[in-house]
Copies of this chain bind each other. A is one copy, B any other.
Amino acid sequence: MQTSPSDRDRKPFRIYTAASLGTAIRHYRKQAGLSQAELAEQAGLHRSYLSALEQGKETEQMRRILRLLRHLGVRMTLEQADW
């Protein structure tokens, strides 16, 4: 079976750094056709924070958790929930 066109949008993102998380978030936001302002308001956070997130801003906590998972040999992935 070949990859169907709609499958392209379902490719999972592997998250191992803050940068990859930002890339994924931006991807999904655009796919949803939302601006940063819209999504930020819907999710109840400030637009400047979302902007920084998408650019891969690394916060301490994120670093800590990713480090933890790395030490445990665990992989984190994001993918579109299909329903």
With known contacts A43-B64, A45-B64, A61-B62, A28–B74 Cβ distance under 8 A: yes
Indicate whether A68 reaches chain B with its CB closer than 8 angstroms: yes
Indicate whether A17 reaches chain B with its CB closer than 8 angstroms: no
CA A70 – CA B77 in complex, angstroms? 14
**Which residues of A47-71 have CB atoms within 8 Å of chain B's CB atoms?**
49-50, 53, 59, 61-62, 64-65, 67-71
Q: Is the interface of A mostly helix, strand, loop or mixed?
A: helix
Number of interface residues of A (CB under 8 A): 34
In the complex, chain B residues whose CB is within 8 Å of the CB of A79: 74-75, 77
CB<8 Å pairs between A and B, sample of 16: A24-B74, A28-B69, A29-B72, A32-B72, A32-B73, A39-B71, A39-B72, A43-B67, A45-B68, A49-B64, A50-B68, A53-B65, A59-B61, A69-B78, A74-B78, A74-B81
